[in-house]
Amino acid sequence: MAMAIEATEPDKTAAPPIIDTEDVHLWYGSNEALKGINLTFKEHEITALIGPSGCGKSTYLRTLNRMNDLIPGVTIKGEVKLKGKDIYAPGNDTVSLRKEVGMVFQQPNPFPFSIYDNVTYGLRLGKQHTREQLDEAVETALRQAAVWEEVKDKLHDSALGLSGGQQQRVCIARVLAVKPDVVLLDEPTSALDPISSSQIESMLVALKKDYTIILVTHNMSQASRISDRTAFFLQGHLVEYDDTKTIFLNPHKKETEDYISGRFG
Amino acid sequence: MQNYSFDDTYFLPLDPKKHEIAISTDDLNVYYGDNQAIFDASLQFERFKITALIGASGSGKSTYLRSLNRMNDNIASAKVTGKIMYRDLDINGSGIDTYEMRKHIGMVFQRPNPFSKSIYDNITFAPKRHGLKDKAKLDEMVETTLKEAALWDQVKDDLHQSALALSGGQQQRLCIARAIAMKPDILLLDEPASALDPISTSTVEETLIRLREHYTIIIVTHNMQQAARISDYTAFFHLGHVLEFNTTKEIFTTPKVKATDDYVSGHFG
Amino acid sequence: MRRVFEDELNDLHVRFSEMGMMVNEAIYKSVKAFINHDKELARDVITSDHLINEREVDLEKRSFELIALQQPVTTDLRTIVTVMKASSDLERMGDHAVSISKSTIRVKGTTRVPKVEQDIASMAELVKEMVNEVLDAYVKSDDKRALQIANEDHGINHYSDLIYETCLEIMQKDPATVPGSMDYLFVSSYLERIGDYVTNICEWIVYLQTGKIVELNSNAKEDDF
C-alpha cells in the first residue's frame, strides 16, 4: 500500500564503498577490544558510530587511519580496505594514508601557531606550494569548515585565541586542506556548547557532498539528526548497522533499542 | 546569534506560602575587572526541587552558579554585588565564613575530580577536617552517603581502593557523595554529566532525582534533554541576563520568551 | 542544523495541505454525485479514497521520523502533533465522502424530493466552504479564524435539523419516499460529521498557536434535546 512512500527513500545501493573492513580484531595486550567487525562505508554519507564507553567504537574509528599503530601492545587482525586497497599491507605509508583519511579529535587541538599556519600545516609537509596556492587552500578549507567569515581578518593571529567552537572548525579546516577522501571525527562536539555543536553539525551535513564522514558520538540526538547510517557497538561487537531512520525508529536488535531509548539498567 | 531584547523576560512568581525558597538572589551582578558577566539576576530556588540553568557558552550560567557559594571569591578581579539570601542571611555580605557556608552549599564540577586517595578517604576527608574523628560515625557516614549517591552496592567491597580506578560515572557519583557527606542544604552542579557517556549520564541523572528528596539542587547543563528530563524549574540565561524563569514543562512546551523558545528548539540563527 | 529540519517541516505542511485539498475534492464530488445521481462520479470518489489513506500514512510516517530523529520541542513539536491529529481527521472526512458516494450508488430510482436535495446541496456548499476555510486557517496558523470557523458549525447543524424534519414529514405523507429519505438522512448526517471534524481541526489550529487544548465541539449540548 505504501509503495509511493518507499520510493522517496534515497537509493543507498548506488554509492560505491570507500572503506570496507572485514573481520577486524584488535587486542590491547591480551584484552580483545574489537571482536570481528565487518563494516562498509559508502561515499558521501555520514555514518555515526554509537555505543557506551568501552564498546570499541573509538578504537574501531582509529583503526581506519592506523592511529592504533602508535599504541604499544596493540595487535590488529583483519582487513581495512580503502578504495579496495588494504591499508595494513606491508610497506604502506601512514603519512600518506592520513592525508586520505583525516582525523578530528574531541578536544579542539590547534597548534600554537597562527590560523593560517594551522590550516597549511599538512600541505607544507608535502610538495612545495606557491604562496597563492596556499592562500587559496586556506580560504577554501576555512570556507568548507564554515569558519572563514569569522577568521578571515585575523588569519595570522594565534588559533588559540579563538573560541572552542571556532578552534574545532579550524581543526576541521586543517584536515580538509589536504583534501582527504574520508574524515574521521571522534566526538567532535562533546566539548562544545549547543550553538557551536549546531554549527559543526550543519557544516558536516554540507561537507557530505565532497567527503565521506565517519563520526563517533555519545550524543544520540546528534547521530539521529545528521547521520545517514548508524552503527551500534557493544563490548567490542558490532550489534547493528543500518539506515539511521531504521536504527532510531525500528531497530532490529533489542540491545540497540534499549541503548537508544536510554534503558541502560 | 540573534539579538534579543533584555526586556523581553518572564519570571514565574513563586508564592512563598506554597513554595519554600531555599536560596535566592536579588539583583546579582558579577564583574570580572571592567567586564560585566551577570546583570541584575534575581532568581528564587525552591527547596527540594531541581532547577536547571541553561544558555549558550558565555551566557553567564556557570558564573552565576559559582557566585552562589562564592567560588568567584578566588578570582582576584571578580566583584559580585547584590544579595544572595540563604536562611534570611545575605551570604554575599561581609563577615561570612565561606568555609562554613560551603558546608551548606556544596558544589560538584564538570570533570569528576576525586582526590587520589581511597574511596573511603575521599568521603571522610572534609568531615575529618571539620573535626569528626569517631571511626564508627565515619564508617556510617561513608555508607549513608554512598547509598544516597547510588554507589554503595558497586564499591562497598573496595572502599579502600583508589577512587581513580572507578569509571567516570562512578567517579562523578563519588564526587556527589563527597559533596553530600557534609550534609549540605543545597547542591550546585556545573555540567556534572557532560564528560560522561549516556549510560553514566543516566545513572547520575537518576541519582540527582533521588537526591531531590533531601536536597535543593541547582544544575548548569548544556544538555537540553537533560534539563527537560530531570529539572522542575528552568532558568534561561542569555549574555549575562536571565530572560526566563519558568517550570521546566512550560519552558519546553510553551515558553513565554522568544529567545528561550529559539534556544530550546535549536534555533540559533 | 535547523535548516534541514525546517525544510522537512515545510514539506510536512505542504503535504498536509495537499491532503486537505484531496479530501475537499472528494467531499465536493460525492455531494455533486449524490444530487445528480451520478454513479460514475460516486465510484470515482470511492476508488480514489486509497490515495487519501496513503497520504495519511505517509504523513504519520514522516511525523514519527521527525520526532524520533529531531526530538522537537515547543512550536516544532506542536506543528508535528497537529499534522498527525488533523490528518487523521481529514482521513475520516474522506471516509464520509465515500459513505455519501455509496449511498448514491445504492439509490435505485426512488422518488426524489427536490426540496430536500436543495437543502442537502446548500448544506454541502456550507461544509465545503468550512473545509476550504479551515485549510486556509491552518496554512496561515490563524487561531482566531479557527475559532470563528468552529462557530459556523451551527449553520450545518441547522440544515441537519431542517432536513430531518422535512424527511419526517414527507415520509409520513408518502411512504414511497421512505427509501430515498433514509439516504437523505444518512447523507445529511455524514455532512454533519464532516463539519464536526472541521471543528476538530480548528481545535488543533488553536493548540498549534497557543499550546492549549480546547473543546470547540458543541455537539454535547445539542444532544441534550
What ipTM does the predicted assembly reach?
0.78
Whether C204 shows a pLDDT value over 70: the answer reads yes
Query: What are B206-249's pLDDT values in tens digits?
Result: 999 999 999 999 999 999 999 999 999 999 999 999 999 999 99
| Domain count of the fold of chain B | 1
Stretch 231-260 of chain B: residues touching chain C, C-beta under 8 Å: 252-255
Contact A264 B199 (CB under 8 A): yes
Q: Tell me which chain A residue has its CA closest to the CA of residue B221.
A: A193
CATH topology of domain A18-260: Rossmann fold (3.40.50)
Across A114-134, b (16+ Cβ under 10 Å) vs e yields bbbbbbbebbeeeeeeeeeeb
Alpha carbon of A224: minimum distance to chain C alpha carbons (Å): 5
Whether B91 shows a pLDDT value over 90: the answer reads yes
Whether A38 shows a pLDDT value over 90: the answer reads yes
d(CA B20, CA B95): 26
End-to-end CA distance of chain C: 55
d(CA B47, CA B49): 5
pLDDT tier for residue B136 given thresholds of 50, 70 and 90: very high
Whether B118 shows a pLDDT value over 60: the answer reads yes
CB atoms within 10 A of CB C219: 14
What is the four-CA torsion angle of C27, C28, C31, C36, rounded to 10 degrees? -150
Three-state SS letters, C202-224: HHHHHHHHHCCCCCCCCHHHHCC
Whether C206 shows a pLDDT value over 70: the answer reads yes
With respect to residue B1, please indicate whether it lies within any of the assigned structural domains.
no
Contact B253 C211 (CB under 8 A): yes
Query: What are A86-120's pLDDT values in tens digits?
Result: 999 988 888 889 999 999 999 899 999 999 999 99
Cell numbers standing for residue C193: 460529521
Residue C144 backbone class (left: φ over 0; alpha: ψ -120 to 50; beta: rest)? alpha
Interface test with B, best of A50, A53, A258 (most B CBs within 10 A): A53
Whether A7 shows a pLDDT value over 80: the answer reads no
DSSP state of B162: B
Which residue type is seen at A86?
A: D
Strand order in the sheet with A101-104: A101-104, A182-186, A212-216, A46-50, A229-234, A237-243
With respect to residue B269, please indicate whether it lies within any of the assigned structural domains.
no
* Phi, psi torsion values for B79, nearest 5 degrees: -135, 130
Query: What are A160-191's pLDDT values in tens digits?
Result: 999 989 999 999 999 999 999 999 999 999 88
Query: What are A114-166's pLDDT values in tens digits?
Result: 999 999 998 887 778 899 999 999 999 999 999 999 999 999 999 999 998 99
With respect to residue B3, please indicate whether it lies within any of the assigned structural domains.
no
d(CA B10, CA B61): 17
Query: What are A226-252's pLDDT values in tens digits?
Result: 999 999 999 999 999 999 999 999 999
CATH topology of domain C2-222: Methane Monooxygenase Hydroxylase; Chain G, domain 1 (1.20.58)
Pairing mode, strands B10-11 and B241-247: parallel
d(CA C210, CA C75): 9
For residue B99, give the CATH number of its domain: 3.40.50.300
d(CA A253, CA A85): 32
Alpha carbon of A263: minimum distance to chain B alpha carbons (Å): 9
Identify each DSSP E strand in chain A by its residue range: 17-28, 31-42, 46-50, 74-82, 85-86, 101-104, 182-186, 212-216, 229-234, 237-243
d(CA C134, CA C132): 6
Which pTM does this prediction carry?
Answer: 0.84
DSSP state of B38: E
Which residue type is seen at A116?
A: Y
Q: Which of B94, B53, B92 is nearest to B70 (CA)?
A: B92
Q: Which of B127, B123, B129 is nearest to B174 (CA)?
A: B123
On whether the CB atoms of residues B149 and B214 are closer than 8 A, the answer is no
Of B224, B228, B261, the CB nearest to C75: B261
With respect to residue B5, please indicate whether it lies within any of the assigned structural domains.
no
Q: How far is CA A6 from CA A9, B11, C57, C62, C68, in A?
A: 6, 47, 12, 11, 18
Domain that holds residue B110: 10-264
Contact A221 C68 (CB under 8 A): no
Of residues B200 and B248, more confidently modeled = B248
Whether A4 shows a pLDDT value over 80: the answer reads no
Contact C68 A248 (CB under 8 A): yes
Q: What is the pLDDT at residue A234?
A: 96
Q: What is the pLDDT at residue A263?
A: 81
**Residue spans per domain, chain C:** 2-222
d(CA C162, CA A263): 59
**Residue spans per domain, chain A:** 18-260
Contact residues for C166 (Cβ-Cβ < 8 A; gap 6+): C113, C115, C116, C119
